[in-house]
Amino acid sequence: MELRLEEISKIIRSQIKHYESTVEHDETGSVVLVGDGIARVSGLDKCAVNELVEFPNGEYGMALNLEEDTVAVVLLGSDVGIREGDTVRRTGRVVSVPVGEAMIGRVVDALGRPIDGKGDIASERYAPIESPAPGIIQRQPVKEPLQTGIKAIDSMIPIGRGQRELIIGDRQTGKTVLAADTIINQKGQDVICIYVAIGQKRSTVAQLVNTLESAGAMDYTIVVSATASEQAPLQYIAPYTGCTIGEYFMHQGKHVLVVYDDLSKHAVAYRAISLLIRRPPGREAYPGDVFYLHSRLLERAARLSDSLGGGSLTALPIIETQAGDVAAYIPTNVISITDGQIYLETELFHAGVMPAVNPGISVSRVGGNAQIKAMKQVSGTLKLLYSQYRELKGFAQFGGDLDKDTKERLAQGERIVEVLKQNRNTPLEVAQQVCILYAVVNGFLSQIPVEQIRDFEDGLHEALANEGAGILDAIRSTKKLDESTEAQLKDFLTDAVASYLDRH
């Protein structure tokens, strides 16, 4: 093939004519020191807090400490292959995670990457893990109940949509079970649930996912997992990731429930990072901003005003105590941030009272606003009766003659305790709760032996479903016990008790 000079010169002229000069500007720095998942980088003068920076081996890090000469970067992956003198590049964006409908039903890591083996998540929208909490004008009061399906909580320590309710207790007292039951109870309630596992064993998280799948709860649930085997930075950002995913749905006008399990391990992970990047420790070796660590997370829970769609984000943080010490540093921090706490007591748990809720120091600062009127009517005296029973039980242990009134109070208290017991993964609809609680508060169960209460209750719920559907529908529709519904319920309970006693 013969090349002609005219054609070559024509091509060169065309190339020169259309030549565009572009300059790519990257701000880079170099690694001064690396180790323990931390890199100190010099030269990143314009780096922002929480900004992503990229290392030569493809790993990313998050800028935390902005010092005079260096930036302390926590690595979001392995530090293997990163050497002193390596070039580090600014990305210009803060740590963000994918959000959207595609996340529902998936198990993701702290950066929103799928770890359930079900393929990539087709989400085009990203949101930064840190964002300001809604202001006062953007909120409305918490007044709509978030039903947990657990009698002891829905009656005595009610939770509302947009509330922050702490679940606190020693290890192995049923905190995670309580949170899982609440998620299972949201089936058909139009609530999207997010479970954030921080510092747990992988097997424990897998077991919980199986429980949710078998109950059909993964259809509306997202699991964010940062297990104990993962680096402290991933455990640190995991709850913010869960909150960001939930906020997307809240701003769409939907209702969201987020469980942080647990913030004790989150504080420990943050302490580990802080000590490595030389943040000065304060009380009990925790850095001084550990309160802000949790407050800026939990303040993002809100019920938005109707003008903003009326969506809500309800937070259920979990805190593990040591030997029941609720006055320790981290527990008191989180108690002061939240709108109440559910305290699970080890002694009650070992005595077979499950859920092991202590009604004395458990409280909801939203109270009756987060209950339907029927539950409010029935449970008004329940907490008082329960607390009186616990006091009287302490005195009765010393023996001595008890008067008739004290014996009656003790007998009723025993039945209240028995009624409030509930097996795991068996949440109960609120209308059914109202019926059995009405029965125990008003003395309908006084003739039934305590050991047979659970058997009677099972029969009562079955009978209500078959023959008392009208009563349940009336409670659901009016949300209160009017005179006619109450009269029907009294007659039904009287007949149910008489029938049960005849058979036994």
Q: Which residues are catalytic?
A: 365
First and final C-alpha spacing in the chain:
107
In angstroms, rounded to a whole number, what is the distance separating the alpha carbons of residues 109 and 96?
Answer: 13
Write out the two tokens for 14: 């065309």
Q: What share of the chain is helix, strand, coil (3-state, %, to 5)?
A: 45, 20, 35
DSSP codes, 346-387: HHHHHTT-SS-B-TTT-EESSGGGGS-HHHHHHHTTHHHHHH
Q: Is 119 helix (H, G, I), strand (E, B) or coil?
A: coil
In angstroms, rounded to a whole number, what is the distance separating the alpha carbons of residues 66 and 40?
Answer: 10
Using DSSP bridges, classify how beta strands 221-226 and 191-198 pair: parallel, antiparallel or unpaired.
parallel
**438, burial (CB in 10 Å: exposed 0-12, middle 13-18, buried 19+):** buried
Helices (H), 102-221: 151-156, 175-184, 202-214
Torsion sign (Cα): 61, 64, 66, 70:
negative
Please tell me what DSSP assigns to residue 148. Answer: -
In angstroms, rounded to a whole number, what is the distance separating the alpha carbons of residues 469 and 373?
Answer: 19
Which residue is associated with the tokens 């025993």? 414
Using DSSP bridges, classify how beta strands 221-226 and 107-108 pair: parallel, antiparallel or unpaired.
parallel
In angstroms, rounded to a whole number, what is the distance separating the alpha carbons of residues 124 and 258?
Answer: 23
Residues 6+ apart with CB under 8 A from 298: 164, 315, 317, 334, 337, 338
Torsion sign (Cα): 375, 249, 244, 220:
positive
Torsion sign (Cα): 136, 137, 138, 144:
positive
Residues 6+ apart with CB under 8 A from 162: 139, 140, 142, 144, 301, 302, 303, 304, 312, 313, 314
For the chain, give the number of residues: 504
- Beta-bridged to residue 256, according to DSSP, are 192, 313
- Beta-bridged to residue 40, according to DSSP, are 33, 72
